[in-house]
């Protein structure tokens, strides 16, 4: 289970209090009725699904009830940062190199 720092409550709480809400920083087109099928697919369905750093939304549904954003590593599941909704996407690529993680996949995959 994850421990998640809520930037509004300013404390770390168990994942049970939170609801994941998908990718962050996806702007809904303001002209939604005019866009093409390709643009709608891009906005609504297509996702990067990154192996590594992901920016995602969480909601502290059993706490303050507010949405916020998080930067997390999808290999180690470790949170790099959580920040309030509406703040710009932080530039983490340059500052935090991905530390090697000892996953089962990395250590046990020596097939003969």
Residues that bind other proteins (CB under 8 A): 1-2, 15-16, 19-20, 22, 37-38, 40-42, 44-51, 54, 56, 72, 74-77, 103-105, 109-111
| Identity of the residue, 95 or 110, whose beta carbon is nearer to other proteins in the bound complex | 110
Among the listed residues 2, 9, 51, 48, the one whose alpha carbon sits nearest the alpha carbon of residue 25? 48
Least distance in angstroms from the C-beta of 17 to other proteins: 12
Least distance in angstroms from the C-beta of 49 to other proteins: 4
| Identity of the residue, 19 or 62, whose beta carbon is nearer to other proteins in the bound complex | 19
- Report d(CA 51, CA 74) in Å as an integer: 6
Least distance in angstroms from the C-beta of 12 to other proteins: 16
Least distance in angstroms from the C-beta of 16 to other proteins: 6
- For 59, half-sphere exposure in the C-beta direction (CA atoms, 13 angstrom radius) is 9
CB-based burial label for 104 (10 Å; 0-12, 13-18, 19+): exposed
Task: List 83's β-bridge partners, or say none.
Answer: 69
107 alpha carbon, distance to own chain's centre:
26
| Identity of the residue, 95 or 109, whose beta carbon is nearer to other proteins in the bound complex | 109
């Amino acid at each position: 289970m994850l421990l998640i720092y809520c930037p509004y409550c300013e404390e770390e709480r168990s994942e049970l209090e939170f609801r994941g809400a998908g990718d962050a920083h996806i702007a809904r087109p303001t002209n939604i009725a005019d866009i093409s099928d390709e643009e709608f697919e891009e906005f609504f369905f297509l996702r990067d699904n990154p192996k590594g750093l992901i920016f995602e939304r969480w909601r502290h549904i059993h706490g303050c009830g507010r949405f916020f954003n998080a930067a997390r590593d999808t290999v180690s599941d470790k949170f790099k940062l959580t920040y309030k909704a509406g703040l710009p996407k932080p530039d983490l690529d340059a500052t935090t190199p991905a530390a090697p993680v000892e996953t089962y996949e990395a250590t046990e995959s020596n097939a003969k």
